[in-house]
């Protein structure tokens, strides 16, 4: 169970980190001297990572809930 919680926490940290990077890149897009195409591509890549991590978090949370139910059923027996 603690491994699942640890994985969820790590995945959430990745999402937070990627979101911070997206925010920074978004600010740079407004700078006329920046390479906007490159920044937009980087943001799109980071958004994809966030989407993948979000799906992973959902799966880990489902696994955690299932493990908790299984553990509760085992204790009942």
Rounded CA gap, 47 and 31, in Å?
Answer: 21
pTM, entire model: 0.61
Q: What pLDDT score does 48 carry?
A: 92
Rounded CA gap, 14 and 77, in Å?
Answer: 39
Which of residues 8 and 1 earns the better pLDDT score? 8
Please write the tens of the pLDDT for every residue from 7-56: 888 888 888 888 888 888 777 777 777 677 887 888 899 899 989 999 98
DSSP annotation of 26 reads H
């Amino acid at each position: 169970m603690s491994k699942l919680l640890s994985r969820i926490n790590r995945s959430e940290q990745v999402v937070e980190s990627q979101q911070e990077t997206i925010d920074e890149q978004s600010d740079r897009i407004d700078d006329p001297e920046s390479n906007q195409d490159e920044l937009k591509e980087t943001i799109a890549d980071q958004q994809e990572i966030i989407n993948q991590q979000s799906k992973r978090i959902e799966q880990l949370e489902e696994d955690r809930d299932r493990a908790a139910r299984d553990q509760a059923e085992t204790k009942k027996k």
